[in-house]
Structure 1
């Protein structure tokens, strides 16, 4: 039986919101297997940590978290149709389950973050279920920030050399030359010699002091086709705090088309750059050391009917010494195999953030890259995974 402990807290009316709120000025604790559902706003002015149960935010309208003491929850469920707005941050120590609605944080407020602690993870993220504002991590080395704006999930994948004591990230669908919630201007015409263009439509703000590589993705709204005719020229670009200009942060790998793809940077220190975005490399400074050619697009249907049950590339018969890597649409690597033949059957074998990995990867479009060491050739393409 689930146990729920109530200690000094009470309801009061909030004129600004025209609805009641739960006010905690005591020491509420949710015990193991316990649960509490917030169907109204939460004002937290006392310690709210060491919880082991589930805290759910449920509403057909919007909810908010306010107060002076950041609450910490073990498991969290978000089912607020019009979003959960954080005037005060939340710390999550285990799982966040996105069901309905975004978590929203003010982009102009540095202390209002949804913070994933060392062992925390999440599931259910999507275009309508994400963090619209700042997501943060504490004591994590690698993480995919489930950030975006009101319309799209636009995650940033962080791969750090060591554990980050603290890092946070938000996505902005606006011109970096005229940011609405950040101090300064990041002129898209101020470019290092090895950059031809940078996006004037979107950018990410990433904080962290550990050398890291990041992966960014693009979609049709990103307008990459307005910047280049070759997707392989896309790089990650950052606004240097020292140089006061956009600098090329590299591309390794880059995969996709002008409409959809992803790129991974070289290692850099995020705190040395105000913001980062997608850029286009300038000849002769190409992001890839070897030409990237295209193979066919593939259909993989893992339903046991003996037809297309595995990902098979006939060309690899001429190059048994190879490396195959498969990424999801946001650039998260889900599969890697040296000397590949036909091992991919829709199951991830890498990636710490694949939820329910044993159940198989979601249906959809994936990117693959192939390095044929025998022929010294790089290839890339798409596959569609069905079940």
Structure 2
């Protein structure tokens, strides 16, 4: 074990009114339950090291060209906090990654309190108290590592730029633009190694001028804002995406009847067209999610859809299943579905895993009764736990010689106790 006192003795710091900066040329270790504050710009030189397992207050700029990290061994796993606070803009820059455990952002400077010009990563909790982090495009990144949390982002404190998220936890990207916090939420990916990225843009007219083509089912496009959600690898996408609307940023034309016709749409880069990803709407929370895992990633926005293309009143869905054998709601009942035998039903759990899939639903006992069933489903033939699930029903309707595909999606509550 390296002696902490030796580390502190080998740290060479210069500071004072003559130089107006704090420079580390050696090894600096901030021990647990200790505090250090730097009133001047702080610079960690090449070949120098900083390990913070105590509390570091940074009142000016921070530049890192060496190793800037925290120790995770033994009891040190959850220790270490860096607090950025000032009454003027603070730049975070340098040539080497800065790794924080816990991070607090508290700077009331208007518009851009923190200018991020270097890669940083957080392992623990990031508290957004005050101040917007502006990520300089092409020069920096803000990464949340496995288990990291973004606490309480607001209009006054969020990330303006791209945010990376590693790990298999569900995550709400603390993103925004031009003073508006506009998050994007993804359900939990399957692997710890997966990395997703998220960003938001407001009032980018050129973007929509170059992407004006939309599928026929799309009626009115929200052309005032868009989100970017993508994955670091080309593996299958396995998350449900959730967005929100805000009367301050969202096109009023798409908010007339959100509970009826508002969906999430995605720009299909191969086809050069906006395509429908569906939508389950929570009006009280101004929130909308895709009914199943997204078919692709990239650019997303909101849009109204032509409901007469998607809905058909002849089919009525009863979305409560109490699989207790009492003869009431024992299975997922879709009234009149047998009139449209060319149909398919998929059911997903809250994490986007498929738990049921079939075609020609409600024929010869072919129903969902609380058990996982179908090709490539989750825990095949096992009884599923009580909870909220998503269903997707697709069926064909023929009228006057024209066949139309109808799609319905929504919540399903399952009670198996």
Give the equivalent residue in structure 2 for 1:103: 133
Query: How big is the shift at 1:154?
Result: 0.7
Q: Note if 1:204 corresponds to 2:227.
A: yes
- Pick aligned residue for 2:276 from 242, 245, 248: 248
Matched, 1:282 2:313: no
The answer to whether the 8 Å contact 1:8/1:28 transfers is no
Tell me which of 131, 144, 158 is aligned to 1:130. Answer: 158
In 1: Cα distance, 2:42 partner to 2:148 partner: 25
- Gaps of at least 5 residues in structure 2 are 22-38, 72-78, 318-327, 331-349, 351-386, 388-409
Following superposition, the deviation at residue 124 of structure 1 comes to 2.8
3-state secondary structure, aligned to 1:91: strand
Distance 1:159 1:228 in 2: 25
- C-alpha displacement of 1:202: 0.2
Q: 1:144-159 to 2 correspondence within 5 Å?
A: 144-159=172-187
Cα distance in 2 for residues equivalent to 1:370 and 1:142: 19
Report deviation, 1:139. 2.0
2:227–2:301 Cα contact (<8 Å) kept:
yes
Q: Which is bigger in relative contact order (C-alpha 8 A, separation at least 6)?
A: 1
CA distance in 1, matches of 2:295, 2:174: 21
- 2:347 paired residue number: none
Partner of 2:11: 7
Using the alignment, how far apart are the partners of 1:287 and 1:74 within structure 2? 49
**1:159–1:213 CA contact under 8 A, matched in 2:** yes
Structure 1 residues not aligned, in runs of 5+: 180-184, 293-318, 322-332, 334-349, 351-368, 375-387
Equivalent residues of 2:254, 2:262 under 8 A apart: no
Give the whole-Å Cα distance in 2 for the aligned partners of 1:151 and 1:60.
Answer: 18
Contact 1:187 1:245 in 2 (8 A): no
Q: In structure 1, what is the equivalent of residue 377 of structure 2?
A: none
3-state SS in 2 of match to 1:204: strand
SS in structure 1 of the partner of residue 52 of structure 2? coil
Matched position secondary structure for 2:248: helix
Measure, in 1, the Cα distance between the counterparts of 2:167 and 2:84.
26
Root-mean-square deviation over aligned CA pairs: 3.6
Q: Which residue of 1 aligns with 2:342?
A: none
Partner of 1:30: 52
C-alpha contact 1:36 1:56 (8 A) present in aligned 2: yes
Could you report, residue by residue, the CA deviation over 1:352-375 in whole angstroms, capped at 9, with x for unpaired residues?
xxxxxxxxxxxxxxxxx986899x
8 Å CA contact 1:188, 1:199 repeated in 2? no
Instruction: Indicate yes or no: 2:63 matched with 1:43.
Output: yes
- Of the structure 1 ranges 283-292 and 94-103, higher mean CA displacement relative to structure 2 is found in 283-292
Q: Which stretch of the first structure deviates more once superposed, 157-166 or 39-48? A: 157-166
Q: For the residues of structure 1 that align with 2:57 and 2:247, how far apart are their CA atoms?
A: 39
Kept after mapping to 2: 8 A contact 1:142/1:158? yes
Measured in 1, the distance between the counterparts of 2:155 and 2:219 equals 31
**Is residue 211–residue 272 contact of structure 2 (8 Å, CA) maintained in 1?**
no
| 1:263 corresponding residue in structure 2 | 288
Deviation digits for residues 283-304 of structure 1 (CA, Å, limit 9, x no counterpart): 3344899889xxxxxxxxxxxx
Q: Counterpart of 1:87?
A: 117
2:260 is the counterpart of 1:237: no
* Change over 3 Å in CA distance of 1:278–1:288 after alignment to 2: farther
Q: What is the match of residue 347 of structure 1?
A: none
Provide the TM-score with structure 2 as the length reference.
0.60
Structure 1 SS opposite 2:190: strand
SS of aligned partner of 2:68: coil
Secondary structure of 1:237's partner?
A: strand
Q: How many residues align?
A: 287
Distance 1:150 1:46 in 2: 33
For 2:265 and 2:172, the matched residues in 1 are separated by 19
Assess, with a 3 A threshold, how the Cα gap between structure 1 residues 168 and 85 changes in structure 2: closer, same or farther.
Answer: same
CA, structure 1 residues 9+168, in 2 after alignment: closer, same or farther (shift >3 Å)? farther
When structure 1 is superposed on structure 2, of 138-147 and 63-72 the one drifting more is 138-147
Give distance in 2, aligned partners of 1:153 and 1:287. Answer: 34
- Give the conservation status (yes or no) of the 8 Å contact 1:10–1:24: no
Distance, in Å, in 2 between the alignment partners of 1:94 and 1:161 is 19
